[in-house]
């Protein structure tokens, strides 16, 4: 009796051609539908695992808008507040009084001036 060959030429399961670490992710139904919809729109249509890998790759290559520093944001807010105050002109006050009122409003109450982070602390 001949001994059976231990060499099997057909694999029991087909492995993905991509080698890497398996990562388990729990996704909601609407996320799965969105991924599957994106995958079907590709030419040619791609599998869900490939679509997830491609979407992650695309997400990692997108550059986000740089955040403004605090001073720039404070200056922009100050300018916007100044424009709004200009629209609330009191016709009975003189130009000097209007400018003084505007400065006082933009500066804020004295009680809060010590805690403002957009201005350096006053030296005592």
Mean pLDDT taken over the chain: 79
Distance separating alpha carbons of residues 30 and 41, to the nearest angstrom: 17
Name the residue with higher pLDDT: 50 or 109. 50
Which pLDDT does position 12 carry in this prediction?
57
Q: How many residues in the chain?
A: 124
Read off the tokens for 92.
């009975």
Residues 50-98: tens digit of each pLDDT: 999 999 999 888 877 666 677 788 788 888 888 888 888 777 888 888 8
For 24-48, the DSSP string reads -----HHHHHHHHHHHHHSSS---H
Contact 106, 82 (CB under 8 A): yes
> Domain spans of the chain?
29-61, 70-113
- pLDDT greater than 60 at residue 22: yes
pTM of the model: 0.41
Distance separating alpha carbons of residues 80 and 123, to the nearest angstrom: 28
Name the residue with higher pLDDT: 10 or 92. 92
User: Before 44, cis peptide (omega within 30)?
Assistant: yes
């Amino acid at each position: 009796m001949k001994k059976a060959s231990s060499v099997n030429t057909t694999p029991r399961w087909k492995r993905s051609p991509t080698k890497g670490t398996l990562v388990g992710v729990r996704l909601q139904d609407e996320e799965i539908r969105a991924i599957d919809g994106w995958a079907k729109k590709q030419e040619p249509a791609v599998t869900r695992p490939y679509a997830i890998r491609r979407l992650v790759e695309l997400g990692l290559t997108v550059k986000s808008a740089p955040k403004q520093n605090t001073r720039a944001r404070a200056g922009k807010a100050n300018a916007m507040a100044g424009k709004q105050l200009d629209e609330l002109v009191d016709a009975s006050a003189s130009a000097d009084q209007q400018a003084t009122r505007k400065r006082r409003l933009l500066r804020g109450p004295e009680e809060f001036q010590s805690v403002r982070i957009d201005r350096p602390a006053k030296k005592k």
